[in-house]
Every structure is written in C-alpha cells, then in structure tokens.
C-alpha cells in the first residue's frame, strides 16, 4: 500500500465523518461518543496480534529482537525529549497540567488497561499460531472505522487557530532529529550494522507495514525483519509514553509516536492528550508518513 493511497483513505474517512456528523440521528451520535474511548484498546489488541504473527513469519526471530528493541526504545525516547527541548525553548506554555496523585493513578489505570489489551492480543495470536490456523486479519480496516468516528467527534469540537501555527512543524521535525540521533548513538551498541542501515531503520516512525516490506526489497529479509519489529515496538513504546506523560507533554508524546499519530495512536492522543491535539497528531503523522519511505530508500542507498 503506497503512502499516497494510505493518506487518501484516511482523509476520505475523516472528511466523511466530519461532514456527515451533523446529519446523524442523536441516538447514533451518542452511541459513537460512548464507544470511541474503547477503540484504543481494540487497536492495541490488533497490534499485539500482528506482532505475534510477524514473529511467526520471521526466520530466527529471537536473534533480531535485541537490535529492534534497542532502536525502538532509543528512537521513541530521543524523539520525545528533542521535541520537549524545542518547545521549552520556543513555547514555554507547551507543558500543561500539573502532577497530582489522581492523574498518576489514572495513568496507571490506563497503562494497566493497555497491557491487558496487549496480553489479550498476544494470547490470541499465540493460540492461532499453535493451532496452525490461517487467519486473514488486517487492522487497517479497523483503523479506518476509527478515523471515521474521529471525524464525527471533530465536527462537535471547537478548535482555535493555534493548531495551524508553523510551530506544529517542530513536532515531526523533532521526530526526525531525535530518531536520527538515536540511530547514530546506536552505532556504538549495534556494531554489526553500518551507520546508514541503522539510520534507515530509524526512519520508519512506527509504520511497520511499510518499513518491513520496503527494507526487505531494497536490502535483505533480515534487515526487513528488524525494521518491522523496530516499528512495532516503537508503536508500543509510544503508546506507553502517551498514557504516562501525554497529558503533561502532549506534543512530545505525539512526536514519539511518529507516523502512527495519524492512525493507530490517534486513539491514545485523543484519550491522553485531549481532542484539541488531534489536528497536531494528524499533521505530524501526515508529514512523517510522506517522508518515511523516501528517507528509508535514501539512507539504504548510501554506501
């Protein structure tokens, strides 16, 4: 699936939800508002399920887990802190909220729900693998339904003009800088891989369905497997950051989510950062989705 086709589908569903929201019966509209918070957990279940399926289809999966995990954690964390530093310099009001026991307990509750959802998805995936069942599952359609419902909610949400500010561009820029720096730092840890391979692996921004296939075609199946797992793990790390500190550092959490802030982690953005940051997530995710395949191809082409 090309990035252009992916973006077109997302924006069609978003626009359909937004422009037809006012024509929906009150009963249906209220039902949508009630089920929206639970979509994040459905998406987590699908992510965990696809992770177990991915591991099943990769030769020697345990050998490529360490580099994938190291890259995923380092790119997510450095993207987060790069964005935090940038916004502290240009906009001191970018940090919101204050630490309290209630918020901390609520974060723990959300994390526990997230882990339960991940465990359910992994358990289903393992059961399917053990029973040798051929299950054709594509979470993309689940994402499109969620985007449609988000469009309905956006129609009833008031936004100010601040989200159109040029400052929003610092969110994807921080993701690029943080990811690249993390990859360069990993040179000293992952010595079996060249610098351009590591940088290329860092440019997937959580879009595992693209990066795994693209890296396999350009380079090798082994590096493609690492790319796929790196972005799957990166998505999970970003989700944890979203639930724990997204309420206080919304833009930084969105930056750590990379391209997934436009689709999978959009549910967590709405839940943890607030609906007013959904446009930030859409804009950042759109930009990173467009440049991810270009950057991967560029860095893998360097000798």
pLDDT tens per residue, range 103-146: 566 666 766 777 788 789 889 988 988 888 877 777 778 878 87
Domains in the chain, number = 1
8 Å CB contact between 206 and 236: no
Give me the pLDDT at residue 205, please.
92
For 154, half-sphere exposure in the C-beta direction (CA atoms, 13 angstrom radius) is 25
Task: Quote the mean pLDDT of the chain.
Answer: 81
pLDDT tens per residue, range 8-60: 777 788 889 888 888 889 898 888 888 877 777 887 788 778 777 777 766 66
pLDDT tens per residue, range 270-280: 777 777 788 88
Of the pLDDT bands very low, low, confident and very high (cuts 50, 70, 90), residue 189 is: very high
> Which residues fall within 8 angstroms of residue 77, CB to CB, at 6 or more apart?
178, 182, 237, 256
For 2, half-sphere exposure in the C-beta direction (CA atoms, 13 angstrom radius) is 3
Alpha-carbon distance of 113 to 230, in angstroms, equals 23
Q: Which of 98-102, 164-168, 290-294 has the lowest mean pLDDT?
A: 98-102
94 vs 301, residue with greater confidence: 301
8 Å CB contact between 235 and 260: yes
8 Å CB contact between 212 and 228: yes
Count of Cβ atoms closer than 10 Å to residue 219 Cβ: 18
pLDDT tens per residue, range 77-91: 999 999 988 887 776
Give me the pLDDT at residue 1, please.
47
Query: Whole-prediction pTM value?
Result: 0.73
Looking at the chain, the number of H-run helices and the number of E-run strands are: 12, 0
Structural domain for 165, as ranges: 3-300
> Phi, psi at residue 141, to the nearest 5°?
-70, -35
Alpha-carbon distance of 267 to 246, in angstroms, equals 12
């Amino acid at each position: 699936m090309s990035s252009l086709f992916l973006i077109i589908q997302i924006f069609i569903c978003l626009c359909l939800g937004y422009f037809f929201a006012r024509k929906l019966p009150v009963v249906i509209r209220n039902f949508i508002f009630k089920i929206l918070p639970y979509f994040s957990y459905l998406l987590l279940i699908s992510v965990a399920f696809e992770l177990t399926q991915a591991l099943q289809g990769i030769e020697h999966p345990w050998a490529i887990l360490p580099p994938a995990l190291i890259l995923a954690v380092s790119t997510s964390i450095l993207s987060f802190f790069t964005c935090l530093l940038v916004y502290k310099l240009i906009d001191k009001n970018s940090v919101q909220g204050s630490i309290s026991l209630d918020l901390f307990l609520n974060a723990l509750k959300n994390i526990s729900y997230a882990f339960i959802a991940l465990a359910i998805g992994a358990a289903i995936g393992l059961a399917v693998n053990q029973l040798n069942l051929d299950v054709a599952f594509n979470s993309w359609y689940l994402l499109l339904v969620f985007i449609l419902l988000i469009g309905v909610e956006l129609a009833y949400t008031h936004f100010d003009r601040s989200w159109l500010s040029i400052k929003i561009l610092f969110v994807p820029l921080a993701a690029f800088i943080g990811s690249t720096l993390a990859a360069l730092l990993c040179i000293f840890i992952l010595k079996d891989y060249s610098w351009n391979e590591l940088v290329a692996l860092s440019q997937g921004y959580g879009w595992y369905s693209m990066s795994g296939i693209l890296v396999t075609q350009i380079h090798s199946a082994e590096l493609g497997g690492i790319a796929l797992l790196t972005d799957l793990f990166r998505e999970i790390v970003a989700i944890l950051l979203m639930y724990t500190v997204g309420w206080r550092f919304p833009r930084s959490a969105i930056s750590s989510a990379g391209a997934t802030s436009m689709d999978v982690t959009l549910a967590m953005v709405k839940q943890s950062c607030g609906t007013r940051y959904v446009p930030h997530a859409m804009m950042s995710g759109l930009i990173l989705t467009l440049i991810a395949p270009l950057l991967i191809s560029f860095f893998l082409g360097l000798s």
